[in-house]
Structure 1
Amino acid sequence: MGGGMNLNMNSAESLVAQILGLSGGSAKDLAHLHHLLKQSDDLLLSSDSPPASLLSQLDPSVHSLGYLYILEVCTSGPISKEQSGEVALLIARFIEACKADQICLAPDKFISVCKRFKDQVLLVEAPIRGVAPMLTAVRKLQTSSEQLTALHSDFLLLCLLAKCYKTGLSVLEDYIYEVDQPRDFFLYCYYGGMICIGQKQFHKALELLHNVVTAPMSAVNAIAVEAYKKYILVSLIHFGQFSTSFPKYTSSVAQRNLKNFSQPYLDLANSYSTGKISELESCVQTNKEKFETDYNLGLVKQVVSSMYKRNIQRLTQTYLTLSLQDIANTVQLKSSKEAEMHVLQMIQDGEIYATINQKDGMVRFFEDPEQYKSCQMIEHIDSSIQRVMVLSKKLSTMEEQMSCDPLYLSKVGRERHRYDFEDLDSAPHKFNI
C-alpha cells in the first residue's frame, strides 16, 4: 500500500519534472505538455504531495500552463473566509506573471481560476483588489481587443462594486465584434451601462442598455428586464422623453413581455411627459418602494432633477433675463437659493449659457456659442466616420463569408432556440448592484 502512495507521489513529482522540462521549449513541447496535463487532474487530487507544495517548485512566468493546471486543482475545493485573502493573492500574482501564449492553450481553466479569484475578493469584501488583476486577465485572454471574453462582465462588476468607473470605461472604449456567449454580452452591456451612468455618460449608457433590450432572446431574461428599467430612466434624464415603441429588430419576446415587468417605470415616463413636477413627484412616492427594491431610486431622483432642468431650459427660449425668484416660482422650486443651485450646476455642465448677477439675483441667458467649428468637434466627427467605415467593411466581409458557407445556409430557419438564458424567476437580483 505504501508503494502505491509512493508511486502517486512520484507521479505528481514526475509531472512537475515534465512541466519544468517542457515549458520553455517549442510549440511541439508545449502541446505534448498540454496533453499530459489534461490527464493529470485525478493524479494531482490523489497525490500525497499537496498541490500547493508543487506550485512552490514552479515559476508562473515560465511554467504558466503547468502552474495553471495545478492552481486550478488547488482552488477547486471549498475555501474558508480566512483563506480567501491568501488564495486571492496567489491567483493575482499568477495573473500578473503568466504568459498569454501559454494560458491561451487552456482558456477554460484560466477563466475558471479567474472567476474563483473574483469570488474570493468579493468574499473578503474588497472588490478593489480584483480590478487591476482582472483587467490584466481580460487582456491576456483576448486574441484581439475586438473580442468579448467570459471575464469582461466579471471585470466590470468589480469596477462597479469598487466604484472604479474610469477603469471600467477603458474596456468599454473597445469596439466589440466577436462574441461567443450571448449571456456574456448581455452582462457586459448591462454592467457597462451602469458604469457609464456612474460617470454621467448617459449617451453611451443608452447605447449599451439598448443592446441588451434589443438583442435576440427566446425567453425573457432578468438582465434584459433590469436593463429596460434603467433604459427608461436614462432616456428621461438624457432626452427628457421615452418612446415605448421598440425598433423593428427587437425580438418579439422582448416586445411582448418587457413592459409587463416595468409598469412603475412606464408610469414615471408618462407623468414626466406631462411636464408637471407635482405629477412626477406623486408618481415617485407611489412607486418609491419598488424603485428602492430595484436599486434605482438614485436614478429616479436624477429623473426628477432633470425635469427641473428641462423646465429651466424652456425659460431660456422665452426670456433674456429672469430673477432667481421667478425661476423658482415657475418651475416649482422651494426657494430662489434652490433655483440658484440648479442654474449654477446647469451653467457648469454646459446645459444653459447664462450669468447670475449676485447683487439683484437676476439671471441673464445667452445663445449656445458652439458653432461646430472647434478642432475637437471636427476630430469627433472624423473618428465617427472612420469607425462606421471600419464596421461597414467588417460587416460586408462577414456577410460574404456567411453567404458562401453551406453549413450556415442549411441551419438558417431551423435555429430558433439558440439563446438559452436563466428564467426570469431565478434570482433577478443577481444582476443588481
Structure 2
Amino acid sequence: MAAEDLKEKEPKGEKMDVDTPEKIPEKEKSPEEIAALVLSDIKQNFGFLEKAAINFEPRFSMRVLRGLGALRRRLTSDIIVRALEAAYTSMEHESAKLILKYLGKDVSFSTEADSPSLTVLPEIDIYVLLLVQVYLLDQGDAAKLDAFNDEVINVLRTYNRRTLDALAAKMWFYYAHSKELNHKLIEIRPLLLGVLRTATLRHDTETRAMIMTLLLRNYLNTQAISQAHQLVLKGDFPDTAATSVVARYLYYVGRINAIQLDYTAANESLIGAIRKAPQTTHAAGFLQSAQKLKVIIELLMGDIPERSLFREPMYKNALRPYMDLVQAVRIGDVPQFSETIAKYRDTFKKDGTYMLILRLRQNVIKTGIRMMSLSYAKISLRDICIRLHLDSEESAEYIVAKAIRDGVIEATIDHEKGFMQSKEILDIYSTQEPNVAFHERIKFCISLHNESVKAMRYPMNQHRVELKNVEEAREREKELATEIQEGDIEDDDGDFDGL
C-alpha cells in the first residue's frame, strides 16, 4: 500500500527540474600569468635534466624535448632572461653573456654574489642555449641565427657526456637547418662528417642517427645522389634511435632508392616511414610528402593506389594533383597524362617528384596497350599508334614488343601484316602471381612482428622484483618442509577442512 500511495502522490507527466551549472567562460590569462607559467615549466625541465644527469636516465631528457614544441610558441626574450637568472649564478658565465649579446639585452644579475664558482650543469647549459636557438629561428632572422649557432656549436663540442646525447642531437638539427636557410649546405658537410666519426667512436646513438639523417638531406638537396647512396650502404644507422629520426631517415632512403630505380626497396622504406611517423596533424607535412612520393613509386611499380587514400581529410587537398595523375595512368590516356603534367608542373617541382613523374610516360603507354589487348583480339599497329599518339608505327611495334617481353601483355606481333594478336587469357591461379603476392604478405607480417617486438618496453628493474619474489617463495618452501619434518603439520591438515 505504501508503494501504491507514493505512486498516486507522484505527479504524472512532470519531471523533476535539475539545476545544471552553467559553463563559466574561462578568463583569458594575462601576459604576466603566461610568462609565469612558461618560466615554471622551464624550471621544472631543469629538475628533469638534473635527474637525468644524476641517475643517468635518458628518458627524462626525452621528456624535456617532447615539450619543446609547445614551449617554443610561448617564448619571449623576457622569459629567456628570467630563465637565465634561474639557470646561471652570474652573468659572467660565458653562455649567459653569449645569450644576452644575441638577445640585445643589457642585464646584470647575480643570484650568488659571493659565489666564486660559475659552473652550471652541462645539461641545463645546453638546454638554455637550445631555447635561444628555437627563439631566434622563430624570429626569422636567419643571419643572427647562423652567427649564434656557430658559437653555440663550439660550446657543445667542449662537452662529452652521454646524458647530453638527446639535447646535442636536437641542437645539431637546428644548426643544419639554419645553414640550409642561409644556403651553406656544402660548407657544413665536412663538419657533419667529422661529427659523425666522433659520435660513432663515442657510441653516441642519438647524435649519430641525427647526423646521418642530416647528411642524407644535405646530399639530396645538392643532388649528390651517389654520395647519399654510398652513405646508406656503408653507414650503420642505429636501430635504437628516436622514432621521429628513424621516420625521416627511411623517407630519405626511399627517395634515394627511387632515384636509383630500386622501386621495391623505396616502397618498403616509405611504408616504414609512414608507419613510424606520428599519425597526428603535427606531422601532416611529413606524412603528405611521404604519401606523394609513395603514390608515384606505386605507379612506377605498375600498381594503382587505393582511392580511399585520396579521400582522407589530411591528404584530400594535398594529393589532388596526384589523383588526376593516377586517373590518367589507370586508363592509359597519354593526352590526359601530358595535360596533367603541364597543369601541375610547378607543384610537382616543388614536391621534388617531377623527374620521377616523367618516367611514368612509359607506364601510361604500357597500360594503354594492356587495355587494348584486353578489348581487342586483333588490332593493327596503326590503330595503336593513333590511340596512343605515338610518332610512327615502328615506335608502336617497338613498344608492343617490349611490353610482350616484360610480361605486361600476352600477345604476338605479325610483322608482315602489321597487327597485334592477343592470346587467350589464362587462369591467373595457374601462374606464379598468387605465390608472389602471398610471399609479399608473409614477408610484411613477419617484418611487422619483428619491429613490434623491438618496440616493446618493460618496467625498469622489474627483474629485481621477480627475483625477490622467487627468493621469498623458496624461503616459504624451506619453512614448510622444516615444519613437516618436525611434525608441526599433521597429515589430516590440508584441503579437507571444509568436508
Q: CA deviation at 1:292?
A: 4.2
Measured against aligned partners, the alpha-carbon deviations of 1:109-154 in whole angstroms (never above 9, x if no partner) come to: 46525753564476354x3444454245345436488997333432
Alignment of 1:202-221 (within 5 A): 202-214=263-275, 215-219=277-281, 221=284
Offset, 1:326: 7.9
1:187 aligns with 2:237: no
Instruction: Summarize the Cα distance change of 1:318–1:121 in structure 2 as closer, same or farther, 3 Å threshold.
Output: same
Alignment partner of 1:112 is 2:171? yes
Q: Distance in 2 between matches of 1:233 and 1:339?
A: 25
- Alignment match, 1:123: 182
Partner residue in 2 for 1:153:
213
Distance (whole Å) between structure 1 residues aligned to residue 173 and residue 206 of structure 2: 20
Residue of structure 1 equivalent to 2:286: 223
Q: What is aligned with 2:259?
A: 198
* 8 Å CA contact retained: 1:121, 1:129: no
* Pair 1:323–1:211, CA change in 2 (3 A): same
Give me the whole-angstrom Cα distance separating, in 2, the residues matched to 1:140 and 1:177.
19
CA distance in structure 1 between the aligned counterparts of 2:328 and 2:183, rounded to whole angstroms: 43
Provide the residue aligned with 2:93 in structure 1: 43
What residue ranges of structure 1 are gaps of 5+ in the alignment?
Answer: 1-37, 49-64, 247-253, 353-360, 364-371, 373-380, 407-433
CA contact (8 A) 2:382 2:393 kept: yes
Q: Deviations over 1:356-376 (max 9, x none)?
A: xxxxx999xxxxxxxx9xxxx
Amino acid at match of 2:304: Q
- Structure 1 counterpart of 2:296: 233
- The secondary structure found in structure 1 opposite 2:307 is coil
TM-score by length of structure 2 reads: 0.45
Q: In the alignment, residue 44 of structure 1 is paired with which amino acid?
A: E
Q: For 1:216, what is the secondary structure of its paired residue?
A: coil
Offset at residue 203 of structure 1 (A) = 2.0
How much does 1:223 deviate?
A: 1.4
In structure 2, stretches of 5+ residues that fail to align are 1-87, 99-121, 410-417, 421-431, 433-438, 464-499
Partners of 1:235 and 1:170 lie apart in 2 by 25
1:304 alignment counterpart: 361
Deviations 1:294-340 (A, max 9, x none): 44333332223321244567899999xx9997874564322367669
1:291 Cα shift?
A: 3.1
The counterpart of 2:328, out of the listed 247, 268, 271, is: 271
Aligned match for 2:192, one of 120, 134, 137: 134
1:309, 1:346 within 8 Å by CA — same for their partners in 2? yes
CA positional deviation for 1:241:
1.8
Identity %: 18
User: Retained in 2: the 8 A contact 1:146–1:177?
Assistant: no
Change (3 A) 1:124 1:227: closer
Q: CA deviation at 1:399?
A: 3.9
For residue 236 of structure 1, report the CA deviation from its aligned partner.
Answer: 1.0
Question: CA distance change for structure 1 residues 262 and 46 in 2, over 3 Å: closer, same or farther?
Answer: closer
Amino acid aligned to 1:123: N
SS for the counterpart of 2:292 is: helix
Q: Deviations over 1:373-399 (max 9, x none)?
A: xxxxxxxx9xx98x9989856744654
Give the total of aligned pairs. 312
| C-alpha distance in structure 2 between counterparts of 1:329 and 1:295, whole Å | 33
* Residues 219 and 136 of structure 1, relative CA distance in 2, 3 Å threshold: same
User: 1:277·1:307 contact (CA, 8 Å) conserved in 2?
Assistant: yes
Over residues 78-113 of structure 1, what are the superposed CA-to-partner deviations in whole Å (9 max), with x where a residue is unaligned?
A: 9969x98xx69x989x99xx89x9364533346525
Give the letter for the 2:211 counterpart. Answer: L
What one-letter code is carried by the residue in structure 2 that aligns with 1:282? E
1:232 & 1:209 partners in 2: Cα distance?
Answer: 10
Deviations 1:234-284 (A, max 9, x none): 2111224222346xxxxxxx9442234211211221232112222323333
Contact 1:193 1:205 in 2 (8 A): yes
Alpha-carbon contact 1:115-1:151 (below 8 Å) kept: no
Which amino acid is the alignment partner of residue 302 of structure 2?
Answer: F
TM-score by length of 1: 0.50
- Closer/same/farther in 2, CA of residues 39 and 161 from structure 1, 3 Å limit: farther
SS where residue 209 of structure 1 aligns? Answer: helix
**What is the CA-CA distance between 1:217 and the residue it aligns to?**
1.9
Judging changes above 3 Å, is the alpha-carbon distance between structure 1 residues 396 and 332 closer, same or farther for their aligned structure 2 residues?
same
In structure 1, the residue matched to 2:339 is 282
Secondary structure of the 2:261 match is: coil
What SS does the aligned partner of 1:259 have? coil
Find the structure with the greater CA-based Rg: 2
